[in-house]
Amino acid sequence: MPSEVRHRVDRGQAYPLVRLAGVLDDATTAPIRSALLGVLAAQPEALVVDIAGLRVIEAAAITVLREVLEETRDWPGSHLALCGSADTIAWRPSGWPVWPDPAGAFAALGEPGPEQHRISLELAPESGAARYTRELITEACARWERPDLVGDACITATEMVNNVVAHVRTPMRVLLALHGDSMSVAVRDGSSVVPRFAGPVAPTAYGGRGLLLIDTVAARWGHLPLDDGKVVWARLEASSAA
């Protein structure tokens, strides 16, 4: 019989709590990864995963959690924690902190930061989408007292949004977040086609400069593949702001 794993997301906590149940082996690493990335794509400040109902058949499969940790380290940069096991040594390959129960994990994470430091906006793939996004960024940076990041954030978001409008043509979600001295800008869309950056383009070329602009102003940028599309993200820091 094929291995099976199930997940249930509890959003009634301070942070999302994902309860995994079933078998962890090579056959179930992909659905576990997809489930966790799907929750992280909403840029929560932290994520707690309850592994009490997860039976480990192949210890090497635990590394799927380390892959999720590494893949999301720069965006959304959420704090990750496991709970439901007292055997911290067995789960050490994951790189996640482990707590015996959910209460311990939530206590260790502490209270969430200000809600207004994480913003999302649903947009249709229409010509005014980039303008709405720039207005949102300008307002957010004023509220966060970070006027130094407005210009670079607007450049980044405009290129991301216009790419969805011109090429992807699916509804999108713009995600902004303040991370201490840095700010992230991300756009989630319904296409699995990932952006490709080939470096500078010829002066006579038509188009192709969107990713070059993002690469110029962002400290780091990349994409997060999802089952129903992707998130393209960029991290802006004070040292990179012009």
CA distances (Å), origin 55, targets 58, 126, 192, 239: 9, 47, 32, 46
CATH of the domain at 168: 3.30.565.10
Q: Do 71 and 154 have their domain in common?
A: no
CATH of the domain at 45: 3.30.750.24
The number of distinct structural domains making up the chain is: 2
Of 230, 234, 211, give the one whose Cα is nearest residue 222.
234
First to last CA, the chain: 58
Tell me which residue has tokens 């997301």. Answer: 9
Instruction: Report pLDDT for 162.
Output: 95
| pLDDT (tens digit per residue) in 62-114 | 999 999 999 999 999 999 999 999 999 999 999 999 999 999 999 999 999 99
| pLDDT (tens digit per residue) in 110-158 | 999 998 899 999 999 999 999 999 999 999 999 999 999 999 999 999 9
Q: Do 167 and 54 have their domain in common?
A: no
Q: Residues 173-187: what's their mean pLDDT? A: 96
Q: Do 94 and 135 have their domain in common?
A: no
User: Does residue 225 contact residue 232 with C-beta atoms inside 8 Å?
Assistant: no
The residues that bridge with 72 in the sheet, in sequence order, are none
In total, the chain counts a number of residues equal to: 242
Residues 70-83 as b/e (b if ≥16 CB within 10 A, e otherwise) read ebbebbbbbbbbbb
Q: Among 53-62, 95-104, 204-213, whose mean pLDDT is lowest?
A: 204-213
CA distances (Å), origin 193, targets 83, 108, 175, 189: 35, 38, 19, 10
Q: Give the predicted TM-score (pTM) of the model.
A: 0.91
What band does 201 get if pLDDT is binned at 50, 70 and 90? very low
Q: Do 66 and 136 have their domain in common?
A: no
Task: Give the domain range for residue 77.
Answer: 5-109
Q: Do 119 and 105 have their domain in common?
A: no
Q: Do 125 and 142 have their domain in common?
A: yes
User: Does residue 91 contact residue 98 with C-beta atoms inside 8 Å?
Assistant: yes
Q: What are phi and psi of 132, to 5 degrees?
A: -60, -40
